[in-house]
Structure 1
Amino acid sequence: MTQEQYAQRNDVQTSEKPHIYKVGIYGWRKRCLYFFLLLLMILILINLALTIWILKVMNFTIDGMGHLRITQKGLELEGDSEFLKPLYAKEIQSRPGSPLFLQSSRNVSINILDGRNMAVTQLVAGSSGVKACSKLLEVKSNSGKLLFSADDQEVVVGADRLRVPGAEGAVFSRSVETPHVRAEPFKELRLESPTRSLIMEAPKGVHVVAEAGDIQATCRNDMRLESKDGQIMLDASKIKLLKLPKGQASPTGSKQAVFEVCVCPNGKLFLSQAGTGSTCQISTSVCL
């Protein structure tokens, strides 16, 4: 390239206007950006206000939330609390000196599970009553004395006195074993079997005592007093045998009101008018 051509090219480049390149966002893009920034600031302010409002309403503190407090011993609830799902806890107790209330609209169930998640002990308190299912049920006093115990084999009442205040008393469908049966003071004791027999047995004897009243034994059919190895004693100042059949008068013809008690071979008792000797043989027709 000659010098003249180079000079002409430089003159053409200097005669053209220089290009200006603008850097940044302008026009409608800039307005949209500012709008989104303003909307984002409004959302941030609303979110912050809602967060502060939730913290205020739920009573969030450093120790917990609402009625729930986190202590060194665990969680502490104040007032009434409602659980919509199962609650798992190692221990539930009330404040010292305050009662613990468990309230439900249907029932309250307490289940004890084994290693296979099978219920081995269950306590259900509902509107129909309280139901307990367990192998052994024990009730003890504060001193540790056994008051009541029940299992599949027997029921044990460990209290010093078992009191049944019902008007009908206590009903036992099978045998009862007890060392002592006593009525309350100034009340009568009745042992009754309306439709079956009443049997009292003891290997060393049955002792019936009424220190301030009478003893009355009534039955519909036969009453039997039996002693296999001993004797039956009737010890009283006066013994009355009412409604005994009377035998025939003695041939002596005496009209004295003195009778002797005769015993038939079958055990039947009857009265025979007394004479100088026994008159039981004369009235043996009563034994037939």
Structure 2
Amino acid sequence: MILQFPTQKIPIQEIPVDKKLKLFIKREDLVHPQISGNKYWKLFFNINNYLAQNPVKPYIITFGGAFSNHIAAVSAVGNLAGIPALGIIRGEELKDKWRENPTLVFARKNGMNLQFVTREEYRYKEKLTEFLQKEFQNALIIPEGGTNEVAVEGVKMMLNNETKDFDYLCTAVGTGGTISGISKFCEENQKVIGFKAVMDNSLEETIGKLTPRKNFNLIDSSIGGYGKIKDENIRFINDFKMNYGIPLEPIYTGKMMQKVFEMIEEGYFPENSKILCFHTGGLQGIEGANLLLEKQNRNLIR
């Protein structure tokens, strides 16, 4: 197998809060230095099952935006496995500017080819996928964000005996694959909370197709839309790292943890609750975020 089960234990770290409950964070960001967090598990069976078929001229194709954690992770997998990869990137305007983008530079260094398409073309990814599958019949085509039924099976690996005793399981939500896996495979008594990084009203329907259980609740933590970074987010992320020694990024985990802290203050969680938040990685995005913040003469993420 190209992607292996980690030999090291993934730590669960307590975050002290001045309330009658306990808050913890599971450091999935430490699972692999380049294939970070939930991306590792969403790709785990997709990649290993594909390579187990011994495809002739293996090829990986996937989709993502300019700062996509998924694009970064797939490029790293391709490099690790020695398999050529193609990333379909949203935003034709990036064609001549990709060298200014740390995520895309990382992907190219890993050998990934980049094909830039307009936002209009990107909206019709299903048609584009059909075309690519005919053009590259032996290719593994992975959806945006890595979310599919096989990915959900991989997310199961984020749960173990150590996660069984928690009352609430919290995760950031982008395309819905991670929360689907947690919902599908967690304990019967556990409640799952998904913190939406994107204002997408179809997410609940998407998740409902991937898990038969109705044990999850979606909460908007996008703070105005996907990729929006406010000064309060930056302050929270920097304070969190200073206080607890844990880095967060501004699109997913930073907004999730900020919202969790707000909910604790508001009394959302009953007394004596045990809350577990999954750190889903994505720290590679900090460099790109800081470049944008620097251009706006704003404080940076430390």
Larger Rg: 1
- The one of the two structures with greater contact order (alpha-carbon pairs below 8 A, sep at least 6) is 2
**TM-score normalized by structure 2?**
0.16
**Greater helix share, structure number:** 2
**TM-score normalized by structure 1?**
0.17
